[in-house]
Amino acid sequence: MSLELLISEREQFELSGPLDLTSIDWNDPHHRRSVNACLVQGVYILERDRQEKREGPNALAPPWWEFFQFKLARPLIDNVDSSIFGAIYEYNGSPTSPSGPQQNSPLYVIAFRGTVTRGDSISQDILLDLHIIQNKLHQASRAEIATQAVRSIIAASDPSRVWLSGHSLGSAIAMITGKNMAKSGVFLESFLFNPPFVSAPIEQINNPKIKHGIRFAGSLITAGLSLAVKGPPQSGTRAVDPFSAMAAWVPNLFVNPRDHICAEYIGYFEHREKMEQIGARAIERLASQNSLGTLIMNARGNSEAEAFHLIPSANLIVNMSPSSDFKAAHGIHQWWRLHIDLKSKLHLYR
């Protein structure tokens, strides 16, 4: 089978989409996860339609949202390369389902795609991937456009029924947007697939003791550098810790342990719990909200560097099903499959 044929099948909903979801129950985690993954896929195909000049009946993107009774309110366009990097979907479905009233259905879903490695958007996408590593993605135009779009939606509707979704680079954009909203007291339901975690791939080490040792040493260094760069936390003031202020935002993080781009979220939350158990909560409190790379950049005078990937709370969902390779472990398609072995754990910041 040729690569072009394989890609074509992945783009067609009738060949690759979850056709079993003919009736959506918004109270069902599998339905919520699958639909959001498909809406993100819709953004990928929107951009491919633009690149291939597929319009009208030749466009492949619409079934990815129309099957679930959404309509495309408007695409989000990157003002640098004019590529489509996101979409605002409006739900037009029935207010009831076989299981009863659909109180948990969204009114709007704002979804963001990841890197497209073909066509005229590849250079800008790769540049933004580098921005992730450099902790400056929040300065990119896509992050600003995304935040403005979400603010306009929540200003005109019920914020509790406005959802965020994203995959890979798009998940990073959604993460920044969600954090911006959380800082202003708006906590959006979020579905973040394979979100990038800027760190050495410690999770890929098989020996648990070595992993814990490396993370413990990293926490000590990060906490110490944080004190050196930022000074000790001020006591006796009414100032609210910005990290703690976001604790009520609990995004759904979907990660695969074989995907080194996102797998470190597993260790990030597990290590935080272990540090509390051994009485090192004060150290981990500093380490969990600071990135070693960002602190070094701050010490060198780059005060605008920001570790977007560090969050206080999350519902961590790990795909334990076998993955054939990195591409499968990082792909969006895994998240709408019916038979998938998931392990979830709620991590709340105290």
Which of 28-32, 71-75, 337-341 is predicted with the least confidence, judged by mean pLDDT?
Answer: 337-341
Tokens describing residue 276: 């509390």
Please check whether residue 145 lies inside any domain of the structure. yes
What is the three-class DSSP state of 74? strand
Query: What are 58-66's contacts with CB under 8 Å, separation 24+?
Result: 60/11, 60/12, 60/13, 63/12, 63/13, 63/14, 63/17, 64/13, 64/17, 64/38, 64/39, 65/38, 65/39, 65/89
Please check whether residue 47 lies inside any domain of the structure. yes
Encode pLDDT of 244-284 as tens digits. 888 899 999 999 999 999 999 998 888 777 767 666 666 66
- The answer to whether residue 298 scores a pLDDT higher than 60 is no
At residue 116 the predicted structure's pLDDT band, cuts being 50, 70 and 90, is: very high
Please check whether residue 263 lies inside any domain of the structure. yes
187: CATH:
3.40.50
* More confident: 207 or 337: 337
Bridge partners, 164 (sequence order): 110, 190
Mean of the per-residue pLDDT values of the chain: 84
Encode pLDDT of 24-48 as tens digits. 999 999 999 999 999 999 999 999 9
* More confident: 97 or 46: 46
pLDDT of residue 104: 81
Contact by Cβ (8 Å): 113, 86: yes
Please check whether residue 258 lies inside any domain of the structure. yes
Q: What residue numbers bound the domain in which 77 lies? A: 29-95+102-203+243-282+297-347
Please check whether residue 249 lies inside any domain of the structure. yes
- The answer to whether residue 213 scores a pLDDT higher than 70 is no
DSSP string over 26-63: TT-HHHHHHHHHHHHHHHHHHHHHHHHT--GGG-SSTH
* More confident: 10 or 298: 10
Please check whether residue 5 lies inside any domain of the structure. no
Q: How many domains does the chain have?
A: 1
Please check whether residue 3 lies inside any domain of the structure. no
- The answer to whether residue 98 scores a pLDDT higher than 80 is no
